[in-house]
């Protein structure tokens, strides 16, 4: 009987098998790369805002405290975005004809609020609370990065669940003294592990496991 498969079938079989493996791995790799790339996570991607507001100018160059504008960050779940009136506190006198601020003046004249685009946007099925974190010594820069160096505001972290959990499982690696919460330049000292443990006791951080309970964040 004649050979059913020509000799080249061996090569074809190998190429197909290896090709398939490579294809599957490649697809997996491509998927995860896209999933973790700024394309999906929006990390470090500045958005088109109604006014190109610069934290770098206002915080670093003009020395304005976070709480001057984000007034409710210590008291409420919501950090707060400054109303038009807050900007006008200074811009009624400064940069009064600047074209970049035209929509600000327009908002004041018409009473129509400015529409800022959310940079950090959790899905609605997640509960988050600023005051709970600020009160326990978690600083703005832990979650928002060096906002004071951002000419345009951008997201510093993915805000994925695994990112929240990384800290909720080991808060001692991140916690800092309360008076350093607004200090953008704070860095963990070499003895962070010990200091963190001490602060956890001092601030009565819940170590019963509630922090990693699903219902803490999905309520």
- Closest CA relative to residue 52, chosen from 108, 109, 89, 95: 95
> Which one, 35 or 163, has the nearer CB to other proteins?
35
Among 42, 43, 82, 105, binds ligand HEC (CB under 6 A): 82
Site string for ligand HEC, 22-51 (x = CB under 6 A): ---------------------------x-x
186 near other proteins (CB under 8 A): no
Contact predicate 82/51, CB 8 Å: no
CB of 27 to other proteins, least distance (A): 6
Stretch of 2-10, 32-40, 160-168, 188-196 contacting ligand HEC, by CB under 6 A: 160-168
- Closest CA relative to residue 182, chosen from 77, 71, 97, 78: 71
Sign, Cα dihedral of 137, 211, 161, 115:
negative
A 10 A CB-CB count for 41 gives: 17
CB of 61 to other proteins, least distance (A): 8
Among 17, 18, 85, 191, binds other proteins (CB under 8 A): 85
Contact predicate 116/49, CB 8 Å: yes
């Amino acid at each position: 009987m004649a050979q059913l498969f020509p000799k080249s079938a061996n090569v074809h079989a190998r190429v197909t098998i290896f090709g398939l493996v490579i294809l599957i791995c490649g697809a997996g790799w491509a998927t995860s790369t896209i999933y973790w790339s700024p394309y999906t996570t929006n990390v470090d991607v500045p958005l088109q805002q109604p006014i190109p507001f610069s934290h770098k100018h206002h915080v670093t160059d003009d020395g304005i405290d976070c709480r001057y504008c984000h007034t409710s960050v210590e008291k409420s779940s919501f950090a707060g975005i400054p109303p038009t009136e807050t900007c006008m506190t200074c811009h009624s006198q400064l940069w009064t004809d600047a074209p970049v601020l035209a929509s600000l003046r327009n908002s004041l004249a018409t009473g129509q609020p400015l529409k800022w685009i959310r940079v950090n946007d959790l899905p609605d099925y997640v509960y988050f609370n600023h005051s709970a974190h600020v009160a326990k010594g978690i600083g703005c820069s832990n979650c928002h990065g060096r906002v004071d160096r951002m000419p345009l505001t951008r997201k510093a972290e993915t805000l994925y669940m695994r990112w929240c959990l990384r800290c909720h499982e080991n808060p001692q690696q991140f916690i800092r003294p309360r008076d350093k919460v607004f200090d953008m330049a704070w860095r963990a000292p070499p003895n962070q592990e010990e200091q963190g443990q001490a602060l956890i006791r001092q601030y009565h951080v819940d170590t019963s496991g509630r922090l990693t309970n699903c219902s803490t964040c999905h309520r």
